[in-house]
Amino acid sequence: MVDRGGNHAEAPALRLSDVVRTYGPVRAVDGVSFDVAAGEFVALLGPNGAGKSTLFQLLSGLFTADSGRIEVMGHDMSRDPVPALAGLGIVFQQPTLDLELTVVGNLQFHAGLHGIARGEANRRIERELARLGLTEAARKKAATLSGGNRRRVELARALLHEPKILLMDEATVGLDPASRVDLRKTLLALRRERGVAVLWSTHLCEEVDDADRVIVLHRGKILKDCPPAELMATTGKRSIEDAFLSLTEPKMAAA
């Protein structure tokens, strides 16, 4: 928990408190509150239009909340954005690599934006590429890589400044099933090895089985926040998909 006296030692990696974001009459994010602890893997599960992308735009500082509070490692996103954003590594839903640059070129550019000295940047780049099995691709143009390897480069880029939490926004969109599984396994391993917290946004129920917690988001509101097994138990369903549909389908029908 955050020490309100200013000590951040016990702060969660990420904390949202009653966060609201509206677009005209639409409450895209409607009073959302949750914590993500250091080293925790939390899946944000919701159908298209649930508010996941809006929430990630708020978390990444692209937009500001109408009300509520977002903290990264105890730093208030609105009052102290520089250290808050420094604690985040982000992989967006849409690909963001410069396809005409090499893998190393993409990573060096990102390191420069974070003020990492060239020598240190090269050491970190070498480490992350080795960790993600991309060493042989280092001098290749990003345009020549498979979709799965491009995602790995984006993950390496997100890790260069050694963030405390990774935001993965529908990061498996466009990937084949094997690449989707591989990416998730990589993140679970990173969570264990480095204590990095992960907030994984998805609309695919099969991607949340290994999460520590599943947050079901629908129409901007949290419907459930619990471990996957508890989600099934409390809904009386035998699968994550059935539990998810039991929570969201009636509300869709009522629209």
DSSP code of residue 13: S
Give the global pTM: 0.89
Taking residue 48's Cβ as centre, other Cβ atoms within 10 Å add up to 8
Give CA–CA dist 33/100, Å, rounded: 41
Q: Reply yes or no on whether the pLDDT at 2 is more than 60.
A: no
Q: Are 161 and 115 contacting, i.e. CB atoms less than 8 angstroms apart?
A: no
How would you class 79 by CB atoms within 10 Å of its CB: exposed for 0-12, middle for 13-18, buried for 19 or more?
Answer: exposed
With H, G, I as helix, E, B as strand and everything else as coil, classify residue 33. strand
Topology of domain 1-87+165-255, per CATH?
Rossmann fold (3.40.50)
Strands (E), 124-233: 165-169, 197-202, 213-218, 221-226
**Interval 100-133: pLDDT, tens:** 999 999 999 999 999 999 999 999 999 999 999 9
Amino acid in the structure at residue 78: S
The rounded Cα 119 to chain-centroid distance in angstroms is 28
Residues listed for the chain: 255
Q: Where are the domains of the chain?
A: 1-87+165-255, 98-162
Hey, what are 63's tokens?
């937009």
Which pLDDT belongs to residue 250? 61
